[in-house]
Structure 1
Amino acid sequence: AVRKPLLEHSREELENLFRVNTLAPVELTRMLLPVLPKGSTVVFIISGVAFINVPELPSYCAAKGALHYLAVNLERELEGRGINVVRVYPKQVKTGFFTRNGVPYPKGSIEPAAVAGAILEGIERGRREVFVPGYLKLLKYLPNWPVFTYRFRY
């Protein structure tokens, strides 16, 4: 993610961010299709920010919102091939995403193992969406989404 106002992003920063967070997951899925048998599951790690605006991370939120819609459409396209899609929407996870930029983990950040466990459970139960924690599903139903704004608390 690039943590600065959108107008301060360089073209290269925007292209790189969308390449990694939006284009690469779709391209990787396309490339793997020849080896995915019926019954396979493709997992997209999106983010709860697909449904909200975080002013400190404007391009990241936009890229994850785009990945959400791409994954929704891929789900429809892959259904005919017998391939399942699981979309995962975690809240802030304790990873290098924050620390490599010298930013502490936001309050309430969750452990990567909790996300992995929720993904496995979601696959086992045949879920199309996995929200970690589960209450994040409420974000989908906010009256003004994606206008809702969230500010990280450290």
Structure 2
Amino acid sequence: MASVELGYLGDTFGRPSGEPLPWVEEGAEPNADMWATADESREQMVGLYHRAWAHADATIDALPLDTVGRVPWWPEHRAEVTLHHAVVRVIADTHRHTGHADILRELIDGAVGMNKGNDSIPPGDTAWWEDHRDRVERAAREAGGGAPA
């Protein structure tokens, strides 16, 4: 969620944080920002999120809600947004991606993404997603000191 906040409530309004985010660099694995590797400590992840909060708060404090920005990774025809829209988007993304409710819903119905026609997830076929899930599980087991899967 840190990169979501830094992107929508920073870069979109010409306020880059300067925070290094290797998972958004050219050639990074799709979805790499949605999980922590075994090398990334809890302190690193929580610290990053705290810095993202502070940066987002500074943008919200500094700009009126009707300030227009441009989401660099959206299609040009809809890339222009207001700060109000960006704040609502971040709230929706936080709701969608944090907590266990989303995971439980995915286990129940097997569906992923935001909604039909706009899943807002990286591309990948079934084999890619199965491999991704296995990598995330291996990283979690390694970080937790458990046996590799």
> TM-score, structure 1 length as denominator?
0.27
Hey, which of these two has a bigger chunk of strand by percent? 1
What's the TM-score once normalised by structure 2's chain length?
0.28
Which protein has the bigger helix share?
2
Based on CA coordinates, which of the two structures has the bigger radius of gyration? Answer: 2
